[in-house]
Amino acid sequence: MEDYRLYSWPKPFGPRVSARRSYQLHSVLAENRVYRWLATVLERQPRMYRVFTAVEKASKERLFGCQMCGQCELPTTGYACPMTCPKQLRNGPCGGVSPQGRCEVHPDVRCVWVLAYERAAAAGRGADLALLQRPVDHREQGRSSWINYWQGRDEDMAVPAGTSPPMRSEREVVGR
């Protein structure tokens, strides 16, 4: 059996803030007219955008293990970042989760999807995990998910199971 730890895959990360508190904090960042205006200004000023994105990265990385995919699913996964899954799974755990809830690739830590379930259920948001996540658009890597959210680009990131989440067109991504 191959030793997966030789690879530099992400390691499941246990968030440093409770899910309940995270959902409360999310309301501060809720999309509104002022944030849409700010996002527009930041996108027109590359230097300001880079600074803003660096602050977002530093805070979300420390609190949630954020991998800066640019398409944040924290609010639908109990604020456990699915991108810290070594296999980058966005819609639930792989078949290798141990009976104790340990990650197959990093057996010394709990599977990020087990954490997501526990955190979402504890915050009364377990139904969020039944949503189907759109595949990751790697063109967004390193971009600000807050700005994407404020600009309404994340409206169809998660949809009820049985429906297809649409992929972003190249024009939507490139034509900013």
- Domain parsing of the chain, residue ranges: 8-174
User: What tens digit of pLDDT does each residue of 89-144 get?
Assistant: 989 999 999 999 999 999 999 999 999 999 999 999 999 999 988 888 889 999 99
User: What tens digit of pLDDT does each residue of 95-104 get?
Assistant: 999 999 999 9
pTM of the model: 0.82
Residue 88 has what pLDDT? 87
Q: At what angle do helices 46-64 and 33-44 cross, to 10 degrees?
A: 120
Residue 4 has what pLDDT? 52
